[in-house]
Amino acid sequence: MIALSPEVQAAKDAGQPIVALESTIITHGMPYPQNLETARRVEAEVRAHGAVPATIAILNGQIHVGLTDAELETLAQAKNVAKLSRADLAVCVATGGTGATTVAATMICAARAGIAVFATGGIGGVHKGAEDTFDISADLQELAQTPVTVVAAGAKAILDLPKTWEVLETLGVPVIAVGQDHLPAFWSRQSPLKAPLRLDTAAEIAKAHHMRVALDIPGGQLVANPIPAEAEIAAEVLAPIIAQATQDAEIHGITGKGVTPYLLQRIFELTEGRSLEANIALVLNNARLAAAIARELGTLA
């Protein structure tokens, strides 16, 4: 059911570090052609930092771990691609379908392929208004049960961040801020929320991952890596834009899986593309750290 690309297979055989990458960010998180460019740049960044990238997607009922450039291009241009989370994965494979994997589904596929480190932009979480809608991403539950270290720039600031961190605490997920005491907020380096845990180096993060496995504690780690300073958008600038986008989603009756892609697209429009530039910068930054963690993990095995 799982097809490793030749590059990923060779890396596995040689015991080289591998970094998993998701595909929903390509199909639902960014517009074409920036999505394709970014996917290629993220893969190049992982390679430049001594690891092998494994972008994950389901193509014609097969789980692909590592995509060829042609597959990446097809996916980036495809319209109406399914967005697959934990609930959708088996149905998609069973019916021969094609779809992009969210953080949750990418973690499942990575773990099955023996990959422990995964880089993305931002995870899903508790949506604003969840007390009425119950809209909470399956990404959070996945972090509680699948042993993959996920490097993200925090949870997307479109979410209710305090509630997101509370749920992760309840689920026993280590949320580790990198190099600072406060949690980052995706497009901005700082949020007012103090991080539950802080580590400063890739080696420490790899050690913590290793120890969790050794202690037989299920689940992964969320590494909250702040966006580079030169790329950040101040939280005060974004707050009214996020409020507007959230209101527009409500007016247009957007619900369920459609909420996250709608908000990202609307914020892209309202910031005249600045949100996308920041998003690209933070994904590249996460790819670098994930490669370093994967390298360190290789020295512990």
Residues of span 176-195 touching ligand PSU by CB under 6 A: none
Cα–Cα distance measured from residue 155 to residue 34, given in angstroms and rounded to the nearest whole number: 21
Place of tokens 């910068």: 281
> Least distance (Å) from ligand PSU to the CB of residue 123?
6
Contact between 103 and ligand PSU by CB under 6 A: the answer reads yes
Nearest to 151 by CA among 176, 124, 185, 114: 176
Binding marks (x or -) toward ligand PSU, 108..137, rule CB under 6 A? ------------xxxxx------------x
Phi, psi dihedral angles at 85 (to 5 degrees): -110, -170
Q: Which stretch binds Mn ion (CB under 5 A): 131-139, 157-165, 220-228, 238-246?
A: 131-139
Residue window 281-300: x/- pattern of binding to ligand PSU, with contact defined by CB under 6 A: --------------------
What is the C-alpha separation between 177 and 196, in angstroms, rounded? 8
- Cβ 231 to ligand PSU, closest distance in Å? 13
Does 34 bind ligand PSU (CB under 6 A)? Our answer is: no
Alpha-helix runs per DSSP H in 16-122: 24, 34-48, 69-77, 86-94, 103-112
Please tell me whether residue 220 binds ligand PSU under the rule CB under 6 A: no
Whole-number minimum distance, CB 299 to ligand PSU, in Å? Answer: 29
Q: Is the Cβ–Cβ distance between 125 and 161 less than 8 Å? A: yes
Residue 22 interacts with Mn ion (CB under 5 A): yes or no: no
Other beta carbons less than 10 A from residue 301's beta carbon: 8
Residue 122 beta carbon to ligand PSU: minimum distance, rounded to whole angstroms: 4
Q: Which of 135, 160, 232, 296 binds Mn ion (CB under 5 A)?
A: 135
Binding residue for ligand PSU (CB under 6 A) from 34, 98, 102, 149?
102
> Measuring CA to CA, which residue among 161, 97, 139, 136 is closest to residue 259?
136
Of residues 11 and 115, the one with the C-beta less far from ligand PSU: 115
Q: Does 144 bind ligand PSU (CB under 6 A)?
A: no
Interaction partner, residue 103 (ligand PSU, Mn ion, none; CB < 5-8 Å by kind) = ligand PSU
Closest approach, Cβ 81 to ligand PSU, in A, equals 12
Rounded Cα gap, residues 289 and 19, in angstroms: 10
Q: Which two tokens stand for residue 63?
A: 């789980």
| 221-224/2-4 β-pairing | unpaired
Pairing of strands 2-4, 62-65: parallel
The least CB distance from residue 294 to ligand PSU, in Å, is: 20
State yes or no: cis peptide before 33, omega within 30 of 0: yes
Asked if residues 63 and 19 have their Cβ atoms less than 8 Å apart, the reply is no
In the region spanning residues 254 to 283, those forming contacts with ligand PSU, defined by CB under 6 A, are 257, 260, 264, 279
Contact status: 139 vs Mn ion (CB under 5 A): no
Question: Quick check: 207 binds ligand PSU (CB under 6 A)?
Answer: no
Helices and strands (H and E) in the chain: how many: 13, 11
Q: Could you give the CA distance from residue 145 to residue 129 in angstroms, rounded to a whole number? A: 26
The whole-angstrom separation of Cα 172 and Cα 185 is 20
| Active site positions, annotated | 22, 156
Q: Is residue 138 within the footprint of ligand PSU (CB under 6 A)?
A: yes
Chain residues binding Mn ion by CB under 5 A are: 135
Chain residues binding ligand PSU by CB under 6 A are: 22, 24-25, 28-29, 85, 102-103, 120-124, 137-139, 156, 257, 260, 264, 279
